[in-house]
Structure 1
């Protein structure tokens, strides 16, 4: 059960995006330093390029960006960016820009067939997770994170990029094999209500433009039948150095990389008569464009209003100022809508208004102010839309208040300060994105220092009058689009086009100025009476200090230098919702609504206002087996984060309005969720996996009647009344002696009664034996498969590493078999989950989507690969890939604060040694072909086999 209704709301917004513009698989001068300060003129000055990036161009026109950056150490991000996308396709090539991207991984001059992927996997580069690419309307981008501590591997990275740039083989056999993969990608991403509605919306929002007929996925019938010359011609015409850039950021020497780029890319040539690379626009519309779309599988009533505007990228200080002002406006609108959503009588399930790139950057240089509302039903959609638009009119007529702008400025300033403090710890991927935007869109590349000073100066200059004047320009009289997406069952109660237009016109009638209801009080009335550190122990092997506090709480401290301005922490104690009775556990599951309601006198909105500009944050949680706290802060704001911990423990807040709003929203969600085939399928899987135990079943409408705010609040107070067995793990940029006084004040003072704590085993178990369930739901020619092999086992680090090796080997074989050999799926997934409590159990899961006609064949192929591993063990090659990937990922993890928080908490919960991470090399040595054969025979046991299939309704 989802504990937070707003998590679901985020999912609602995701489905509103009309089109995600990327389909994924996967004489030289240095920039000059500009020491002048940002210009004072309103027209602004050009933002200078960061002098730390070397930008150059080869004689053949290929651009390159090179920057030395040591985060993460011994790693580099290599990208090939191309100004080549689906808009370049001829009518008989639709989909071949994206198809070409796929072919880049299926053989090239220096890496025949699948050799490129095999080579990189053995170097620790993961296909999909690391090695990847995406295709959009205007660009195709290839990404290759690669280690730099192996000279041979690092140099090969540039050879790979050059092969993508101009040496893809395009063998006929490989083209034909990839057709099925592309078609399955279309099936996996689409064949649902969203795609059906998109096909009706796109002709409206992209009306009169080339974008309407050039979706990157292309046309299925063409993908099945195009002749090989069509894709070879596309590659020959468009993959040319004058339209390409190499981006290299990482732990290397700049001059060496520049020479590698010259060596690998200088021989690439442009066509003698290159085709012109045209740009395409989106026409204006004087009259509003309106579309009402219904679908049997659409679960929610959603209305969108868009006001399109011409725009551009940030190139000057004036552009930057305007962009920053839009950010402030967006944050202030979001805060107002969030206040409304906390009220029990809120007119919508969810609402959002913001200004930004049109449909996530669908069309360059087109922005939009967009309002989205989600309503209870078709009958209430007009009311919800009116309320959302009224907020737009309120800000347009009356503007924002000085207090609102102050909060927005404080938050931006805090992020700006943090960015400067972390300038030498910025990950390479962040720089890559800036250089991509510069090459593809022409946006500026400001240095961290210049950006800091410009942001600071702009925040000082921006006035409330300027903000309110800009806010008035958001709502335009032309270029309006109104879209409604609704369930088919609500069609009769939906507002008409005329009613929607009337709502758009009249929503602002009678609006009054916004009233700020901030509370001007401190978070805590007084500091708690401090406790003491009563014992201290060093674990030098992993740089950890363990403190025992006077109230019994344990604190593990690991100071690090991974970040300059970050401290993260987490705590846990045994218990959780497992201790709730069967009659009350649904109320206990809703206990997250207590911390989500704020703390003390502060509701969430007031708390956000109070903490504006403060990086300290914390939250309380109750999971099935544990309860505790999580949080993070800059060192200067750690006290605030600890104050929040103390407040959540001692001053929880019960808010009837927030509770009632959540219950009302859940009724709508649960009432509509069975319209979605995936939701019905997921509920079936969940029910079977729990053996239909009442505590494991999906929540339903009747369950809502069992939920009591008083019981949820009482259970929360009970779980946090005695925190003596809590263990805190704190990692980051701090000094042990400096942090002790804060720990004694806020953690050693937490309530504790000294009673032993434990969780309960309520007997929720998966079924034993072989079980098969088929769900018939959905209108499209699309199937989903989930296969589980599971069992109880002896939980240990030795067994877990053998399970991990099996999982990786099976993942490789399933991908090779189902995608590469059978061409029957796009991205099959093989996963492993293990747990020690309440009973030690493991699950191997094989899942994929495919054509219904191929279900039995692909299930048989999957089980065949399982049996092959049981007979022969994992291959030596696959184990080499597994060990290399494990080693490379661990190198990155050991320099990550978040990893250490999770790791230390995990080993303590499971009773494992704190230095277990140091034993990984020895554990990996024990993984052999023979050991995996033995493990496969033991754990890939089809005696406990669960098969789930989702097929279209009969």
Structure 2
């Protein structure tokens, strides 16, 4: 019998690797993956993957795997000191946004997106990977400078969430080594380790048998392979290579219970987590078992989500699913947020849903829907097989190298799913459900605000509730029939009464018989992606302050009720398997709809658009549930210091206007269902005032027919509204606001500079350039020189309506003791820009980055949708983008010096600081 079992295992077919990828291993053990892929064109993504993370650290190295990742950007053999980032920025690669890395428990991964239309940049990109692999300088002076940066990164993570994790993670991870090897490390080690200790980690674990290069993009595969062999074949193994021990979290068969309270938590949550051994997909049988688990997870999540949507549900949130944990474990998770004073009834109701699945299983209709959903997702992926992003492909090969997970390629995966799905019966899925829901290796974790501590159940109480449910009669799940389609009757067609072309952009504009305008940009950036947006001017600005809350929340409330003949539970079932979504919104100055669809399901999306205009639903019971749940959230909102700070910022920047301050119970009580419903109808009763934008892979003749049927048939009143100017402006002068809240030794700083300006293309570009250049300067000053922050950020905002206004906002976190020093350093950098102007090297970096970004954006449907809608909304020329790079090239330091003098002034300067209330 043992021989037979071994023979059967050997016969199990391993899933072959995607035939489009070229793989190999050098004599020193170094691995590589290379694939030609032209999405995006003239770009490649380069990864260096190291099978070494924090789990391999010694006690005196805790945090140094992550610190090593930082040091790889602080000097290598061919790019000493900060030359690496300088060189890449001049090549158009942004630090943080593009160039990045991460350290996990079991791996460290470096990511470098690189242009491939310049062979020298590509060759240097490969050289950078080679330097990271074994030639980081680890200069003692650079190590000392980086200590502060890493300690600030650690400081940023401090807070209620981290404190809760510190208390819950040990039992969740079965007291394994993973608990003591969090990648961020310990403050003691980070402050005190010597250069020799980190060099030891680098020497031991950055070695060829634990490394791989992944190159996916618009490259010559043979040339890249030759370059990999040339650069990486001479990587050396340590003279006495340490054995890499394999770490996994062992299942101990025990159930655990943990309650954690914290004064800064804003809600009570109970999580039930059932741990299982991870099953890596290597063979066809693994693929099939994973497919069954995915079907279960989707059905499980859908059942719980449906329960949470019911107006009489005694809980605010209920969700769950099956997925990865860490350390070789997967987990079935159930998360419940009970209503205040309804913990017992909420828990029992939630556990009844879970126990009902365990006892009675799913239904054939649920399985059929989930199979349809899986097929629809696979078909969508298959249609985009030649448009997959290089990053998505590289991520798959990363997992293959780290875990041996199969990557058969989308065509093979689709064929496997198509063959296996009919073989998967309801009995098989229900059998897996029982296995995954076993009452062993189960953790129950309750987290709550400290104020709720006296109301929390203990372990015996929770298990008593579970046992009560398990002894009760639970009727099998029965769902209402949803045989009807979306529309009860087809609308009477309108017509297209006007058409014009903008050939430079490939745009077509239609005027519909009801007055609506349609702007179309057919593209081939994706094979099966259509995105759309409908906009009309007005928004909440048309309503008095007393009705503002009803107006601002109307779209979200009404959309939560369902649509047409379908309530919020039946609508998702009608849309199951359809690649179509639409969401209404009402903003300060506009209202509209946004969404997307596949080519096949664009008709479904059009039906949804039509229904959001003509058949919104009204659900009194669900409305009261929404208000009650919102009241509980508001009551607990201000236990979180970040909410207090955010609301303070919003209130001051909004000049204390009631529309700009934070949520309150009085505001919530001012919302009525009738007001919200009537306002929604008013905003969407006149389609003739809307402009519809469509971008993507549509057939213009097909869309013409759909527009005539579903858009031109919408009601119209012939009105052309404009948004009102409510006169809300950021206050002038110098203002300082300090908020004392929180218990961690950390501060949050926000500096805001505002003013009037002339809205035009040149000034807008100058603002963008100053934002990026100030980002360069503050990163260099606050992070590299002062070592006082992890990552500062600079943001600009500009508006044409209701007034030409701009703002610069600088954000960073730091130690409270360093607040004044770092604010002074920030203001000093602004002063330098005003007085001395912009460095030519900084302008060069901005130009390179922005031009490279424009090259990527012009092949992106989402960019064009956003760009076109804003240009039309602001009454600007949509053809401006065609000259964007030319305009950038013409930008000079004199123009930016003048802009810095005008826009980086401290006349209107507001400083916000959040400090701990110790």
Q: CA offsets, 1:860-891, max 9 Å, x none?
A: 00000010111122211111111111111111
Q: Equivalent residue for 1:20?
A: none
- List aligned pairs for 1:27-42, cutoff 5 A: none
Aligned to 2:233: 266
Q: Which residue in 2 is equivalent to 1:611?
A: 575
TM-score norm. by structure 1 comes to 0.94
Provide the rounded CA distance (Å) in 1 between the counterparts of 2:895 and 2:456.
62
Map of 1:788-799 to 2, 5 A cutoff?
788-799=752-763
Q: Is the 8 A contact 1:43 1:318 kept in 2?
A: no
Find the partner of 1:381 among 343, 350, 356. 343
Moved more, 737-746 or 797-806: 737-746
Aligned partners of 1:745 and 1:467: how far apart in 2? 42
Structure 2 match to 1:34: none
Name the SS for the 2:174 alignment partner: coil
Q: How does 1:171-190 map to 2 (within 5 A)?
A: 171-189=139-157
Which TM-score applies when normalising by structure 2?
0.97
Quote the residue 1:66 is aligned against. Answer: 34
User: Deviation string for 1:611-642 (max 9, x for gaps)?
Assistant: 11111222222111111222211111111110
By how many angstroms is 1:108 displaced?
0.7
Aligned to 1:11: none
Separation of aligned partners in 1, 2:393 and 2:214:
10
1:549: Cα distance to partner? 0.9
Superposed, which structure 2 residues align to 1:537-552 within 5 Å? 537-552=500-515
SS of structure 2 residue aligned to 1:425: coil
- 1:933 equivalent in alignment to 2:901: no
Secondary structure of the residue aligned to 2:66 is: helix
In the alignment, which residue of structure 2 is the partner of 1:141?
A: 109
Moved more, 667-676 or 330-339: 330-339
Structure 2 residue 353 is matched with structure 1 residue 391: yes
- Confirm whether residue 243 of structure 1 aligns to residue 210 of structure 2: yes
In the TM superposition, residue 286 of structure 1 has moved relative to its aligned partner by 3.3
| Alpha-carbon separation, structure 1, partners of 2:812 and 2:59 | 32
Is this contact kept in 2: 1:873–1:931, CA < 8 A?
A: no
Distance 1:46 1:925 in 2: 53
CA RMSD of aligned residues (A): 1.4
Name the SS for the 2:257 alignment partner: strand
Q: In structure 1, which of residues 372, 389, 393 is the aligned counterpart of residue 335 of structure 2?
A: 372
Choose from 527, 533, 539 the match for 1:570.
533
Query: SS at the partner of 1:423?
Result: coil
Contact 1:42 1:318 in 2 (8 A): no
Contact 1:771 1:947 in 2 (8 A): yes
Residue in 2 that maps onto 1:765: 729
Is 1:735 aligned with 2:703? no
Residues 102 and 108 of structure 2 are in contact (CA less than 8 Å); yes or no, is this contact kept in structure 1?
Answer: yes
Instruction: Report the alpha carbon displacement of residue 741 of structure 1 after superposing the two structures with TM.
Output: 1.0
Aligned mate of 2:558, from 591, 594, 618: 594
> In the alignment, which residue of structure 2 is the partner of 1:338?
305
Aligned to 1:687: 651
1:49 matched to 2:9? The reply is no
Cα distance between partner residues in 2 of 1:671 and 1:711: 24
Q: 1:127 aligns with which of 89, 95, 117?
A: 95
**Secondary structure, counterpart of 1:67 in structure 2:** strand
Work out which of the residue numbers 412, 416, 419 in structure 2 matches 1:450.
412
Q: 1:285 is matched with which residue?
A: 252
2:284 is aligned, of 317, 322, 338, to: 317
Uncovered stretches (5+) of structure 2, i.e. residues with no partner: 1-7
1:904 maps onto 2:871 in alignment: no
Structure 1 regions of 5+ residues with no counterpart? 1-39
Q: Which position in structure 2 is the counterpart of 1:420?
A: 382
Matches of 2:765 and 2:159, distance apart in 1: 39
Q: Distance in 2 between matches of 1:413 and 1:103?
A: 45
1:809-848, aligned counterparts within 5 Å?
Answer: 809-848=773-812
Aligned to 2:665: 701
Query: C-alpha separation between the residues in 2 aligned to 1:375 and 1:170?
Result: 51
Q: In 1, distance between residues paired with 2:265 and 2:576?
A: 38
SS of alignment partner, residue 537 of structure 1: strand
Using the TM superposition, name which of 888-897 and 459-468 deviates more.
Answer: 459-468
1:64-213 map, 5 Å: 64-189=32-157, 191-213=158-180
Q: How far off its partner does 1:97 sit?
A: 0.5
Question: Is 620-629 or 168-177 further displaced after alignment?
Answer: 620-629
Provide the secondary structure at the position in 1 that maps to 2:330.
strand
User: Which position in structure 2 is the counterpart of 1:17?
Assistant: none
Distance in 2 (CA, whole Å) between partners of 1:950 and 1:43 is 63
User: 1:108, 1:168 within 8 Å by CA — same for their partners in 2?
Assistant: yes
Is 1:623 aligned to residue 587 of structure 2?
Answer: yes
Alignment of 1:438-587 (within 5 A): 438-508=400-470, 509-587=472-550
What is the aligned residue count?
Answer: 909
- Work out which of the residue numbers 786, 795, 815 in structure 2 matches 1:851: 815
CA contact (8 A) 1:308 1:369 kept: yes
- Separation in structure 2 between the aligned mates of residue 195 and residue 382 of structure 1, nearest angstrom: 27
Task: Tell me how far apart the structure 1 counterparts of residues 805 and 156 of structure 2 sit (CA, whole Å).
Answer: 30
Q: Alignment partner for residue 847 of structure 2, among 883, 903, 907? A: 883
CA distance in 2, matches of 1:299, 1:907: 40
1:605 positional shift: 2.2
